[in-house]
């Protein structure tokens, strides 16, 4: 599991550890980890040209000490101090190692910039001098120290100019901005350096393959199709038959014992033709409602709610999500749908996805899965889960229908809404990445890749 903690949680854990260690030990650990990540990126130190952007806090201290390590490895290192209060011992260490301190020489070109402007002590927006320094080095790859300066660490929001990093080297634990967009998209590859912090339950987490394998419902030796769970799909309409087919394709991932389909008779015929294993109405352990349902969405959702089983509420049914409020349910909006549910602007949801997904989980008393580059799953009193297994090629029509069906299958198989949503989202992203191999895919490819990705987990 990747865990992310708030600034307050990190500060507390650091304080405990600092009290037990000799002065400066923690910063040395951080700086060595940082320097080695830079050496990896550059393929060595000798002859490389490194510029440090150094703010007034310990984040600048990390950059300075790492700069000293790099200078001792033969790199040419300059520190551009953005404040006259830069970390004094760090400045001295860099000078001792042969680094130069002062405004950068204008003619010099840089292999990498270390962003030590602000870390977890920064409050966006960046000050003008820091923003001007970033402009002056535009185009040079940046390694962000702890966090790309200018992003809001605890929310993942952006406010004004900020660093766009190739690599972010963080310490002790991930921070929220490393996983939550839009800030997460500015972090590049995130590298975690262990500095020995003892941390509480995280604010946010991201499932990894071993976590998904452990949560996956796997049939035992005495398995029986009904006991494995039956998932029902109420989706599609004469206008949108494809949504029904894709929803069923996700549900028919093999993770539940049986799939039922209920809908428009012409759509039903097409579903049966495409999926001979799918049967008609009857008892289910979970319903998936809403993809392409058009004006039948409300009735479909009411019928599903009457069955009193866990629900996936998707697409057209989200307009009636109040019906699912307080029930075991996963609501699966994209940003536009969530905006409509909350009476907000789509742009506001995209700028503050964590805030809005939490608000919806609270307001609807349900599990809310907000689709996006890093999909977020929120439920009251639980860490938000972020999905990082996907690929931008997954942004293709109908991919959301497949996800709804898949999450329904996991609910029917007995996972709680929070786990069904986050495991389903992880598998969906991994299947897309597997099917894509770096190239284009359509939604059906994602559904077809689900069994092989599941098998690769060796559950």
Ligand X SMILES: NC(=O)C1=CN([C@@H]2O[C@H](COP(=O)(O)OP(=O)(O)OC[C@H]3O[C@@H](n4cnc5c(N)ncnc54)[C@H](O)[C@@H]3O)[C@@H](O)[C@H]2O)[C@@H](O)CC1
168 is in an annotated binding site: no
Q: Does 59 bind ligand X (CB under 6 A)?
A: yes
**Shortest separation between residue 393's beta carbon and ligand ADP, angstroms:** 8
Select from K ion, ligand ADP, ligand X, none the partner in contact with residue 390, using the beta carbon and a kind-dependent cut-off of 5 to 8 Å. ligand ADP
Q: Which residues pair with 171 in a beta bridge?
A: 193
Q: Does 438 bind ligand ADP (CB under 6 A)?
A: no
Cα-flanking dihedrals φ and ψ of residue 2, to 5°? -90, 130
Q: Does 55 bind ligand X (CB under 6 A)?
A: yes
Q: Which residue's Cβ has the minimum distance to ligand ADP? A: 400
Q: Does 401 bind ligand ADP (CB under 6 A)?
A: yes
Q: Which of 162, 174, 352, 373 binds ligand ADP (CB under 6 A)?
A: 373
Select from ligand ADP, ligand X, K ion, none the partner in contact with residue 64, using the beta carbon and a kind-dependent cut-off of 5 to 8 Å. none
Residues in the chain, total: 459
Cβ atoms of 328 and 352 within 8 Å: the answer is no
Select from ligand X, K ion, ligand ADP, none the partner in contact with residue 115, using the beta carbon and a kind-dependent cut-off of 5 to 8 Å. K ion
Compute the distance between CA of residue 91 and CA of residue 102 in angstroms, rounded to an integer.
Answer: 10
Q: Where are the beta strands (DSSP E) in 278-420?
A: 286-289, 311-313, 329-331, 367-370, 376-378, 384-386
Q: Does 250 bind ligand X (CB under 6 A)?
A: no
375 is in an annotated binding site: yes
At which residue do the structure tokens 């990190």 appear? 10
Nearer to ligand X, 174 or 373 (CB): 174
Name residues contacting ligand X, limited to 132-161 (CB under 6 A). 145-146
Select from ligand X, K ion, ligand ADP, none the partner in contact with residue 130, using the beta carbon and a kind-dependent cut-off of 5 to 8 Å. ligand X
Q: Does 127 bind ligand X (CB under 6 A)?
A: yes
Compute the distance between CA of residue 319 and CA of residue 313 in angstroms, rounded to an integer.
Answer: 9
292 is in an annotated binding site: yes
Compute the distance between CA of residue 265 and CA of residue 195 in angstroms, rounded to an integer.
Answer: 61
Q: Which of 6, 56, 149, 332 binds K ion (CB under 5 A)?
A: 149
Query: From its phi and psi, is residue 262 left (phi > 0), alpha (psi between -120 and 50) or beta?
Result: beta
Nearer to ligand ADP, 73 or 373 (CB): 373
Edge-to-edge strand ranges of the sheet holding 174-175: 174-175, 2-5, 204-206, 384-386, 376-378, 367-370, 329-331, 311-313, 286-289, 230-234, 258-261
Burial of 79 per CB tally in 10 Å (0-12, 13-18, 19+):
buried
Q: Could you tell me which stretch among 110-118, 296-304, 345-353, 390-398 binds ligand ADP (CB under 6 A)?
A: 390-398
Edge-to-edge strand ranges of the sheet holding 100-101: 100-101, 76-81, 49-54, 112-116, 142-145, 167-171, 189-193
Alpha-helical runs (H) found in 43-87: 58-72
282 is in an annotated binding site: no
Per-residue binder mask for ligand X (CB under 6 A), 15-34, x = binder: ---x-------xx--x----
Nearer to K ion, 93 or 177 (CB): 177
**Shortest separation between residue 163's beta carbon and ligand ADP, angstroms:** 21
The closest of 38, 51, 59, 19 to 153, measured between CA atoms, is: 59
Alpha-helical runs (H) found in 307-378: 335-342, 346-351, 353-364
Q: Does 395 bind ligand ADP (CB under 6 A)?
A: yes
Q: Does 96 bind ligand X (CB under 6 A)?
A: no
Q: Where are the beta strands (DSSP E) in 224-340?
A: 230-234, 258-261, 286-289, 311-313, 329-331
Residues that bind K ion (CB under 5 A): 115, 144-145, 149
Residues that bind ligand ADP (CB under 6 A): 334, 371-373, 375, 390-392, 394-395, 397-401, 403, 428
* Positions at the binding site: 58-62, 115, 119-125, 146, 149, 243, 292, 334, 371-375, 400-401
* Positions at the binding site for (6S)-NADPHX: 58-62, 119-125, 146, 243, 292, 334, 401
Residues that bind ligand X (CB under 6 A): 14, 18, 26-27, 30, 55-60, 62, 118-127, 130, 145-146, 171, 195
């Amino acid at each position: 599991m990747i865990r992310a903690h708030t600034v307050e949680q990190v500060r507390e854990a650091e304080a405990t550890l600092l009290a037990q260690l000799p002065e400066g030990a923690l910063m040395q650990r951080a700086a060595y980890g940082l320097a080695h990540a830079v050496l990896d990126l550059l393929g060595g130190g000798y002859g490389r040209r490194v510029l440090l952007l150094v703010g007034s806090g310990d984040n600048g201290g990390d950059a300075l000490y790492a700069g000293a390590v790099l200078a001792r490895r033969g790199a040419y290192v300059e520190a551009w101090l953005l404040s006259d209060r830069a970390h004094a011992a760090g400045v001295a260490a860099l000078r001792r190692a042969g680094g130069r301190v002062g405004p950068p020489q204008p003619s010099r070109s840089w292999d990498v910039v270390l962003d030590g402007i602000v870390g977890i002590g920064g409050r966006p927006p960046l000050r003008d001098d820091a923003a001007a320094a970033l402009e002056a080095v535009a185009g040079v790859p940046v390694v962000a120290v702890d966090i790309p300066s200018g992003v809001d660490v605890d929310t993942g929001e952006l406010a004004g100019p900020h660093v766009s990093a190739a690599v972010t080297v963080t310490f002790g634990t991930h921070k929220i901005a490393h996983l939550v967009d839009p800030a997460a998209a500015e972090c590049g590859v995130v590298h975690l350096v262990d500095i020995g912090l003892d941390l509480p339950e995280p604010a946010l987490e991201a499932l990894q393959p071993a976590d998904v394998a452990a949560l996956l419902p796997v049939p035992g030796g005495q398995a029986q199709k009904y006991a494995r769970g039956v998932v029902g799909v109420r989706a599609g309409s004469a206008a949108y038959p494809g949504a029904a087919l894709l929803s069923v394709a996700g549900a028919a991932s093999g993770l539940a014992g049986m799939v039922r389909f209920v809908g428009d008779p012409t759509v039903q015929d097409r579903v049966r033709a495409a999926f001979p294993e799918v049967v008609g109405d009857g008892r289910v352990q979970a319903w998936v409602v809403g993809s392409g349902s058009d004006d039948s969405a409300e009735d479909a959702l009411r019928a599903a709610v009457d069955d009193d089983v866990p629900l996936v509420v998707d697409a057209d049914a989200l307009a009636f999500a109040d019906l699912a409020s307080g029930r075991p349910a996963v609501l699966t909006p994209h940003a536009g749908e969530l905006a409509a549910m909350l009476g907000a602007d789509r742009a506001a949801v995209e700028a503050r996805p964590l805030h809005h997904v939490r608000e919806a989980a609270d307001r609807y008393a349900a599990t809310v899965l907000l689709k996006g580059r890093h999909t977020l799953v929120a439920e009251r009193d639980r860490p938000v889960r972020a999905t990082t297994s996907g690929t931008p090629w997954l942004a293709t029509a109908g991919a959301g229908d497949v996800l709804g069906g898949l999450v329904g299958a996991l609910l029917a198989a007995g996972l709680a809404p929070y786990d069904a949503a986050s495991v389903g989202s992880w598998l969906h992203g991994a299947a897309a990445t597997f099917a894509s191999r770096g190239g284009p895919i359509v939604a059906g490819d994602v559904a077809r890749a689900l069994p092989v990705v599941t098998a690769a987990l060796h559950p």
